Chain A
Amino acid sequence: MIEIDRVAKAYDGRVVVSDLSLDIAQGAFCVLLGPSGCGKSTTLRMINRLVPFDSGAIRVDGTDVREVAPETLRRRIGYAIQSTGLFPHWRVEDNIATVPRLLRWPEDKVRRRVAELLALLRLDPETYRGKYPHQLSGGEQQRVGVARALAADPDVLLMDEPFAAVDPITRDALQSELLHIHQMTGKTIVFVTHDIEEALRLATMIAVFERGRLAQVGTPLDIVERPASDFVRDFVGVQGIGLKLLSVRRVGERMRPGEAGTGEPVAAGATLADALAAMIAQRAERLPVAEDGAIVGVIALADLVR
């Protein structure tokens, strides 16, 4: 869906991104991960041409991004950023309607789309459509920011640390909703963060950046279990590695199929960290595992550390 082909970028002779190649498949949730100044955000912004690149090529859905007018390109790609960038003088409704109106959708279609998106982001349309951004909490603003990025139903969504400025509980809820939206819509998402936990939770594919180059590209499990370099290992975090594995592995991989247990079941698709949290909450060492509403096995405390 997105092909980044030997792209390089320097600001005043200072190399920010060098010889970067990355293929992002359709429907992938690709997280660009790395410390600040590693070029991950620059790379994201090169995809919709907010930052011009010096050499190489970027293709979105087979089209070279430099062959279309930047405005046309950007209206086809959803874009959400940290601190939302909502237009403070426009109501929630008008903010979400930005790109549909640029694309001259008929107004009744715009209204329906706004209501649909507000509902998708769990904001009551009638309560929220007429509010101004300053009347919303940080988490609500961020939801509106995501809704705005999704408004014209783009195939590709670019997100630059969208949840960095909200509190941990809100961030957790927003991450779940984004995962849910990704599963529902199958959009290709490119997501920049410096937060390893966030990356492990969201990504189907992680690209770790180190000073303008790719240090490793792989699944979350690859990155945690088989770091390609000391840099990646350090960045993922040596001490927390066991705990991080818990948040990458799924209950379904470790459960004992066919056995039965008592207590509130955990989902087979949940992470081992979720299972551990459920065990602590229920003071139980064994919990049933549910899949599609049926109990399919149990998971025990010992299974987590196997």
Chain B
Amino acid sequence: MRLIWKAPALWVGVLFVALLVEMPALRPIFAAGYPGIEPEIFDRASFIELFLSHLGLVAAASGAATIAGVALAIFVTRPAGRDFRTIANLLAVVGQTFPPAAVLALAVPALGFGPRPTIVALFLYGLLPILENAIAGIDGVPEAVREAGRGMGLSPLQLLRDVELPLAAPVILTGVRVSVTIGIGTATIGSTVGALTFGTPIFDGLAGNKLPYVLQGAVLVALFAIVTDLLFAALARRWRPATA
């Protein structure tokens, strides 16, 4: 029993999967709570479909943001890229302060409706935490360690691959975790431009004044974000002992 409380990712995950698959089983509850709304459970798409599409959008955007953010951080921490550091940071800050809804509005004319503008908006929104953490992580490698590596004859590439990136990894992971968790919540607005996410029942429910759909979408997206965050936390704990 104690084991279950010690592994919250497990029981929140079980709850999430159960709701994902068995939401229709809650029909009587919604019927009692919100009489007169038919059907009681959102059924324009299955929740599993919504989940897979939502997951795909976040994975694509966060994957791209991780690659771009880490690559940019590596570049601006090299001697050749040092001058671009302020600019890179500024661009990422602009990316994050620009509201994703506005990005969607601007991206739709160029990219059309559907998942693509959503991925662009999520990518821009998620870049800053990854870039900032990757820079902080690489900067956090002690100068003595770098100096010793150079002094023993590690090439710049070996120093980056074998020393700087492994030592920065826990900090980079924290950035990815923040970015992904925010991205899961933000992805819901993609449903306003035709992407299929847990935002679809939320916006359908708001538009049609069907509160149960809003609840169903909102609870699932919240659980999705929490499970993901807990999984990242577990991953971070596994990494720490070797590097602390």
Shortest distance between the CB of A285 and any CB in chain B (Å):
48
Restricting to A82-125, which residues have a CB under 8 Å from any CB of B? 82-89, 98-99, 102
A/B pair count, beta carbons within 8 Å? 65
Q: Which residue of B lies closest to A91 (CB)?
A: B242
Find the B residue at minimum CB distance from A72: B153
Answer yes or no: A10 CB below 8 A from chain B CBs. no
CB distance from B244 to the nearest CB of A (A): 7
- Looking at the complex, which one of A72, A75, A88, A102 makes contact with B145 (CB distance below 8 Å)? A88
What string of 1s and 0s marks CB contacts (under 8 Å) between A55-80 and chain B?
Answer: 00000000000000011111100010
Minimal beta-carbon separation of A203 from chain B (angstroms)? 22
Would you give the 0/1 interface string for B190-217, flagging 1 where the beta carbon is closer than 8 Å to chain A?
0000000000000000000000000000
**Smallest CB–CB gap between B13 and chain A, Å?**
30
**CB-CB nearest in chain A for B162:** A87
Partner of B144, one of A70, A71, A82, A102: A82
Nearest CB in chain B: distance from A11 CB, A: 15
Assess the B153–A81 pair: CB atoms within 8 A: no
User: Cβ of A50 and Cβ of B151 under 8 Å apart?
Assistant: yes
Are A71 and B148 in contact, with the CB atoms below 8 A? no
Expressed in whole angstroms, the Cα–Cα distance for A88 and B142 within the complex equals: 10
A86 to B144, CA, bound (A): 8
Residue of A45, A79, A84 near B152 (CB, 8 A) is A79
Q: A89-B166, A134-B244 are in contact. Are A81 and B154 (CB under 8 A)?
A: no
Against A, the Cβ 8 Å flags (1 = close, 0 = not) of B131-168 are 00000000000101111111111110010000100110
Task: Tell me the dominant secondary structure on chain B's binding face.
Answer: helix
**Interface range on chain B: under 10, 10 to 19, 20 to 34, or 35 or more?**
20 to 34
Chain B residue nearest to A73 in the complex (CB): B153
Contacts known (A71-B155, A99-B153); A81 close to B148, Cβ less than 8 A = yes
Contacts of B151 in A (CB 8 A): 45, 48, 50, 74, 79, 81, 85, 158
CB distance from A145 to the nearest CB of B (A): 8
- Distance from B94 Cβ to chain A, minimum over Cβ atoms (Å): 34
> Which residues of chain B are near A148, meaning CB under 8 Å?
152
Give the Cβ gap from B95 to chain A, nearest Cβ, in Å: 31
Told that A82-B144, A83-B142 touch, could you supply 11 new A-B pairs with CB distance under 8 A? A74-B152, A75-B153, A85-B147, A85-B151, A87-B149, A88-B142, A88-B243, A98-B154, A99-B152, A145-B148, A158-B151
Residues of A participating in the B interface, judged by any CB pair closer than 8 Å: 45, 48, 50, 70-75, 79, 81-89, 98-99, 102, 132, 134, 145, 148, 158
Residues on B facing A (Cβ under 8 Å): 142, 144-155, 158, 163, 166-167, 242-244
